[in-house]
Amino acid sequence: MAQSTRQQGAGAKLVCLHGFLDNGAAWQPLAAALEAAGYACAALDLAGAGARQAEAGPYTLQRAVDDVLSFIGDGGGPLVLVGHSMGAQIAELAAARLADKVSALVLLTPTPLDGNTLPDEVRAMLRESGGDAAAQQGIRRAFSKNLSEAQLQAATAQNVMMGKDAVRGYYDAFSGGDPAGKEATACTAPVLILGAEEDPVIAPAMVRAIQAERFPGARLAFVAHSGHWPQVEQTAATAEAIAGFLRAAA
């Protein structure tokens, strides 16, 4: 069963989906800021991460989508899906299956749905970092601008970080992508694509290409002074951008 990290507050309900190497706790700062603005937030751990660290694979995008649908269940009103990095791929695929249950979609430093092939040395660094706290901290330092040592330690605690099999599985999943990413999005809800100005992984040019090629009607914005994790690095600015979009969409 998927685990909830936060679920409280009033207003529209946001379901937050974490990316590669992360877990649901990565959303706690942003969830607190959005809940203060009246938006209830919930986050789940994907299999192999956080409270589900010991859960076996397969670690695939479709398995993750199934977990999201199970987490949401049959009840409740319209939802906003918020996905970060690989979680953006999962959010878009889940939105297509949930159809009119989704009132808006937020893609934060999104990995392209058709995949993201990286150079061999980067592939080796990422794919073989499972269960290695020092390696995962090094990746976060390289791909971020403002993560503190305390945040790095929390994200790579032995009892929550992704192990070898999960990291290899999710790396193959996000880098290989999904065939749906070769076509215009099937999501009909309003979409915000939110990049980060100093993200070395999903660079601004890539974010603009995603919007132009697959989401021509989406709102596009960028968070300043942030690397790959704007929800942690620039929490207030990220929350303001999302809340502003949701107010306009409503």
- Where residue 90 sits, what CATH number does that domain have? 3.40.50.1820
φ, ψ dihedrals at 193, nearest 5°: -110, 115
Question: For the chain, what's the residue count?
Answer: 250
Alpha helices in the chain (DSSP H): 28-36, 61-72, 86-98, 120-127, 133-143, 149-155, 164-176, 204-214, 230-233, 235-249
Q: Does the global pTM surpass 0.85?
A: yes
Distance CA 104, CA 161 (A): 29
Instruction: Please name the helix (run of DSSP H) or strand (run of DSSP E) that holds residue 16, with its range, or none.
Output: strand 13-17
Q: Which domain holds residue 234?
A: 4-249
Distance CA 70, CA 176 (A): 24
How many independent structural domains does the chain possess?
1
Predicted confidence pLDDT, tens digits, the chain (250 residues) = 334 333 333 346 999 999 999 999 999 999 999 999 999 999 999 999 999 999 999 999 999 999 999 999 876 678 999 999 999 999 999 999 998 899 999 999 999 999 999 899 999 999 999 999 999 999 999 999 999 999 999 999 999 999 999 999 999 999 999 999 999 999 999 999 999 999 999 999 999 999 999 999 999 999 999 999 999 999 999 999 999 999 998 8
